[in-house]
A and B are shown apart, each in its own frame.
Chain A
Amino acid sequence: MTSRRDFLRAGIAATTLPVSFCTIFPSMAVGQNRSMHELPVLYKVIFDLRFSKSREFGNRARASGISTYGIEGDITDLWYQDLYFRWKQGPAAIAGLTEPPAIFCLERFAWDAGQMRVVHRADVSQNLVSWVIEPVYRS
């Protein structure tokens, strides 16, 4: 079985995305205790079109070359049209800055679709929470 480290090394070799990860989470604790090699390759960054802070987050991600998806609270289309198909192929990390219900739902979808868990969650403002969902690899 591929170990977590092997998988991540393969991911790092294929892309420079972890650098982008630091760019979109500049002041957040998410990257602080982890070496570059432990940061996930993000499949997509999720933001909420209704909130400027979240839109900025989406813009930063896009500028770093990460694909983004804008929601307006409801995650139905994101799940039904996008993540369902991506996660059918295998686990893939996503990150976001959304209202709490969005991550509440995505956490459960992620666990059901593959073995993915929320590895970071932090309140950023009154109504927004930053989060990262990542594959769990067992060796």
Chain B
Amino acid sequence: MATLPPGVSSADFSTALEQFAEAVGPDWVFSSDEDVALYRDAYSPFWGEEQELVASAAVSPTRVEEVQEVVRVANQYQIPLYPISTGKNLGYGGSAPSYSGSVVVDLKRMNRVLEINERNASCLVEPGVSYFDLYRAIQDQGAKLWIDCPDPGWGSPIGNSLDHGLGYTMNGYRDHFDAHCGMEVVLANGEVLRTGMGALPGSKTWQEYKYGFGPHIDGMFSQSNFGIVTKMGFWLAPEPEAFRTDSVKVYKYEDLIPLMDTVSYLVNSGIMNGRGTFGSPLTRNSAKDPALEELLSRPGGPDPRALERYAAENDVPYWTTDLRFYGLEKANDAHAEYAREKFSAIPGAKFEEGPRHRFPLTPEQQKTADHIVDFGIPNMTVFSGLAMQFRTSDNPNFGDLFYAAVIPKNGEAVFEAQRVFTEVASEFDLPLRFFSSLPSTWFPRAVVMLFSLPVSRNIEINKKTRAAFQRLVQVSEEHGWGEYRAAPAFQDLVMNAYSFNNNVLRRFHETVKDAIDPNGILSPGKSGIWPKRLRDA
């Protein structure tokens, strides 16, 4: 046994493991080195170093009562627990705990889809239900409903949404926590709490109405260490009739400003219900043309005017946006027509019609369609081919550490972010092109500058990545941008940036933590929230 929970004697730990085994069955307590190694974060930027966050054991309950019993035992021996649903949070910490020596509570066996309600387009699931499982259950039932899933389908609606994860279909469904309705939570004292209408015994609307009565506390269980979520409801989208995508090309650097404003207007007024994504042939695929590569590699970042000249000479746009419309075919066409008119206000803008689909897609269409998570179909394609940085073991670039800052959804903010992040890229010798890329547009009113920093089995590369990450957090803070999500190793740093009024937000979390988890057993340090005994230490 490699790691013990800090402050717990090996005799107490052994007794606790025996009691966990009584609760969940001996086959479902994992303490051998080989088993525990499976809970290491494969993308840990501290891989093989002393600071790597590692578990002491794992336990895998199958019922709520077993979770309660695990919590009871943990309280008795002051053993830190770290719940995971499917544990696929790669890039943001994987399945490794926020505090070394924690016992991972692996909820993968709680994998029942408890309800799919086609009439009201909702579902109720347990934590171990993956996106694949939910999709399969909907297909098996023949329900005309869509899920909204992240790029890799092996994660779970509960785990993903609790970490504020995001998907790709329609507004109102992409922000997975926002699309949830009702939770069941095992608290640190072992009590089971239901939120929203679930607090009403015999409630008929747990998955239909979010707030119930009184303070709406669901958010306190996301990115937090206040409870172990054992059920969650989600709203699902009725399968749309059709989909169309169109693109707009603009040719001047400053055109990004009206381009983004027009997309925002279309989204916020409900005219476009899919994502408007942004791109530039000048930041992508650039390696193909050495002249462009040279412009992009200029120390300090590319000169916008030189790129503008290059764009004119080569007849390529400076910026593009892809628009997505879901719904009735006729309505999509009317909305797209309106969008075309709106974009024509940008001088020189070109509107081009793209592929259209009617649903359900045939198996052949599913194979050939681009990015099928846009249609709520889970897959693992993102882990194949060139999509991933994987190499054989002698190549140092193994995985990614995601850095994800929320910035305003407007062109001026993007220009500033590109400038600021390009400076950091130069400082740490990271690919400049990557840092001048465009933001991700999951949210309706803000965008995310998402960078993947290289993680390796080479300590020197990881050290540089960590230093770059810290610098990114620092410069973001200076500009009023904050991360929406981060790996546990950096959660103190990120939470420290949310420091308004002498860190009152974090102090509030700590007050709650001490009140509801006095032994500090649940995910110590998660989101920078430490229990009193470890804070003082």
- Chain A residues with a Cβ under 8 A of chain B: 72-76, 79-80, 84, 99-102, 104-105, 107-109, 111-112, 115, 117, 123, 126-127, 129, 136, 138
Contacts and interface: CB of A to CB of B under 8 A. Distances in A.
Contacts of B108: 112
Interface centre among A79, A112, A136 (most CB of B within 10 A): A112
B168 to A, nearest CB: 16
Rank and list the top 10 A-B pairs by shortest CB-CB distance, nearest first. A73-B384, A74-B384, A76-B379, A73-B385, A101-B383, A76-B380, A101-B390, A123-B392, A100-B390, A112-B108
A100 B108 CA distance: 24
Residue of A108, A123, A126 contacting most chain B CB atoms (<10 Å): A108
Interface string B132-151: 10001000000000000000
A73 B379 CA distance: 12
Contacts of B88: 108
Contacts of B383: 74-75, 101-102, 104-105
Nearest to A98: B384
A99 B379 contact: no
B371 to A, nearest CB: 13
27 contacts: A73-B385, A74-B381, A74-B383, A74-B384, A74-B385, A75-B383, A76-B381, A79-B132, A79-B380, A80-B132, A80-B136, A84-B132, A99-B390, A100-B391, A101-B384, A101-B388, A102-B383, A104-B390, A105-B154, A105-B380, A107-B38, A108-B154, A115-B27, A117-B38, A123-B392, A123-B394, A136-B34
B462 interface: no
Contacts of A129: 392
Contacts of A104: 42, 383, 390
B122 interface: no
A117 B390 contact: no
Contacts of A112: 86, 108
A76 B131 CA distance: 12
Contacts of A99: 384-385, 390
Interface in B147-190: 153-154
A121 to B, nearest CB: 9
B501 interface: no
Nearest to A117: B34
B127 to A, nearest CB: 12
B393 interface: yes
Given A76-B153, A138-B27, A102 B384 contact: yes
A104 B154 CA distance: 13
Interface of B: 26-27, 34-35, 38, 42, 86, 88, 108, 132, 136, 153-154, 379-381, 383-385, 388, 390-394
A138 B380 CA distance: 31
Given A99-B390, A100-B393, A123-B394, 8 more contacts: A76-B153, A76-B379, A101-B384, A104-B42, A108-B154, A117-B38, A126-B392, A136-B34
Contacts of B393: 100, 123
A101 B43 CA distance: 13
Contacts of B26: 138
Nearest to A128: B392
Contacts of B380: 74-76, 79, 105
A71 to B, nearest CB: 8
Contacts of A123: 392-394
Contacts of B42: 104
Given A74-B384, A104-B383, A109 B154 contact: yes
Contacts of A80: 132, 136
Given A73-B384, A75-B384, A105-B383, A100 B392 contact: yes
Nearest to B391: A100
Given A74-B380, A105-B154, A105-B383, A111 B392 contact: no
Contacts of B153: 76
Contacts of B392: 100, 123, 126-127, 129
A11 B48 CA distance: 38
Contacts of A102: 383-384
Contacts of A74: 379-381, 383-385
Nearest to B393: A123
Contacts of B86: 112
A117 B39 CA distance: 12
A117 B154 CA distance: 18
A31 B11 CA distance: 39
A117 B38 CA distance: 9
A84 B381 CA distance: 17
Residue with the greatest number of chain A CB neighbours at <10 A, chosen from B26, B86, B136, B392: B392
A103 B259 CA distance: 42
A112 B42 CA distance: 16
Nearest to B133: A84
A50 to B, nearest CB: 9
Contacts of B388: 101
Contacts of B132: 79-80, 84
